[in-house]
């Protein structure tokens, strides 16, 4: 019986790459190894090796049992699907993207980098350290999604899933009052706040239940065109009793559901993410020592579902050495390269920065960021 390839097991791309690099390509290659043996082969911690083996055994066991109960001559057939398979030209894809509504951030240079603002139909992630402006950006988007079409807004409503207790109604009211005062066509402060629907899940189980309930909520509120999760990582970074395999399954279900909701309903999904430090791999004394990397949390399992990733951080101007805020588009199919723009947070909300610098000296080294 031919062993199942490891690329059929739901491992993260980095784990699969590490296994393949060390000569492990099928389930049979690793299924009988002890965690300490696999850890030695891959040069990782035994606990990490245990999690890898748990995932492989969990997802290969059903296949093995099914194969043992069936004749070996039975051929594999692909089950019928009701999904309609379509094909488009590249020009049609561009036209379709340009026809979709976007949500302005009210920072014009950032909107330009993303071709008119936050797009619907996909997941956009804002990541950064505490105080970088992630929650301010989310509140701003919940207001600007309500602007009328004459002001380049979708004239819609928003859902705010607050997993950290970061949503500030008073701050939202202050930013809404500014828009109502300066824009005659804008809603009133009360109308602004009434169109923001707030959930407060504080564990991975309640977050998962909230995401599962979204399709029903959207049927009852068809004018919602923005879903914010602030933050996606907070309830998913704690220890799970069943190890990393359970966490990865939950992340995959949440991300897949959000992408499906975004595409089917033409909704923008915006998530904030925390940062984590990836320690360097141990190297022999004779080789150059690697530095720790600062990366968005949740790893490759989450990253592969994110379409647009924007890092918010503080930087220094080269000449004046004054601190400024920088938004860097690390990942986006509409951005030609990794591009940055300054922005500012005022009493009115997120706005374009008066600084004209396009080449800030970062407070963090550029090579700390993993661009995917």
pLDDT tens string for the chain (372 positions)?
A: 456 787 777 777 778 878 888 888 888 888 888 888 888 888 888 778 888 888 887 776 544 344 444 444 444 444 454 556 678 888 887 787 777 888 999 998 888 888 888 999 999 999 998 989 999 999 999 999 999 887 778 889 999 999 999 999 999 999 999 999 988 888 999 999 999 999 999 888 899 999 999 999 999 999 999 999 998 999 987 766 666 778 888 899 999 999 999 999 999 999 999 988 877 666 566 666 666 677 888 888 999 999 999 999 887 777 777 778 899 998 888 776 668 888 989 999 989 887 655 454 444 434 344 433
Collect all residues with Cβ–Cβ distance below 8 Å to 109 and sequence separation of at least 6: 341, 342, 343, 352
Tokens of 54: 């748990």
Class level of CATH domain 91-280+291-368: alpha beta
Q: Which long-range contacts (CB under 8 A, 24 or more apart) does 80-89 make?
A: none
Say whether pTM exceeds 0.75. Answer: no
CATH 1.10.150 residue ranges in the chain? Answer: 6-68
Among 369, 353, 357, smallest CA distance to 105 is for 353
Collect all residues with Cβ–Cβ distance below 8 Å to 290 and sequence separation of at least 6: 280, 281, 283
CATH 3.40.50.300 residue ranges in the chain? Answer: 91-280+291-368
CATH of domain 6-68: 1.10.150
């Amino acid at each position: 019986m031919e062993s199942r390839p490891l690329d059929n097991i739901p491992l993260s791309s980095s784990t699969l790459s590490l296994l393949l690099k060390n000569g492990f390509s099928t389930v049979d290659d690793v299924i009988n190894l002890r965690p300490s043996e696999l850890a030695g082969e891959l040069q990782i911690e035994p606990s990490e090796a245990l999690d890898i083996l748990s995932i492989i055994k969990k997802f290969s066991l059903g296949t093995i049992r099914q194969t043992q109960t069936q004749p070996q001559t039975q051929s594999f057939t692909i089950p019928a699907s009701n999904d309609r398979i379509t094909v488009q030209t590249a020009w049609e894809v561009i036209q379709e993207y340009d026809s979709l509504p976007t949500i302005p951030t009210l920072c014009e240079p950032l909107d330009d980098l993303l071709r008119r603002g936050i797009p619907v139909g996909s997941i956009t992630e804002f990541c950064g350290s505490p105080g970088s402006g992630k929650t301010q950006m989310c509140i701003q988007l919940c207001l600007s999604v309500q602007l009328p079409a004459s002001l380049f807004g979708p004239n819609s409503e928003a859902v705010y899933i607050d997993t950290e207790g970061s949503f500030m109604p008073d701050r939202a009211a202050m930013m809404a009052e500014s828009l109502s005062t300066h824009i005659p066509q804008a809603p009133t402060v009360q109308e602004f706040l009434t169109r923001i629907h707030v959930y407060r899940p504080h564990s991975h189980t309640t977050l998962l239940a909230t995401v599962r309930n979204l399709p029903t909520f959207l049927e009852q509120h068809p004018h919602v065109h923005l879903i914010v999760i602030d933050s996606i990582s907070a309830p998913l970074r704690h220890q799970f009793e069943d190890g990393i395999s359970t966490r990865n399954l939950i992340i995959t279900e949440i991300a897949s559901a959000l992408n499906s909701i975004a595409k089917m309903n033409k909704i923008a999904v915006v998530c904030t993410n925390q940062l984590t430090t990836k320690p360097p791999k141990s190297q022999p004394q004779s080789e150059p020592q690697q530095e720790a990397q600062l990366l968005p949390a949740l790893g490759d399992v989450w990253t592969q579902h994110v379409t647009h990733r924007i890092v918010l951080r503080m930087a220094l101007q080269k000449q004046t050495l004054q601190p400024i805020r920088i938004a860097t588009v690390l990942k986006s199919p509409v951005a030609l390269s990794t591009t940055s723009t300054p922005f500012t947070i005022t009493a009115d909300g997120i706005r374009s920065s008066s600084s004209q610098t396009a080449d800030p000296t970062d407070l963090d080294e550029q090579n700390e960021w993993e661009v995917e």
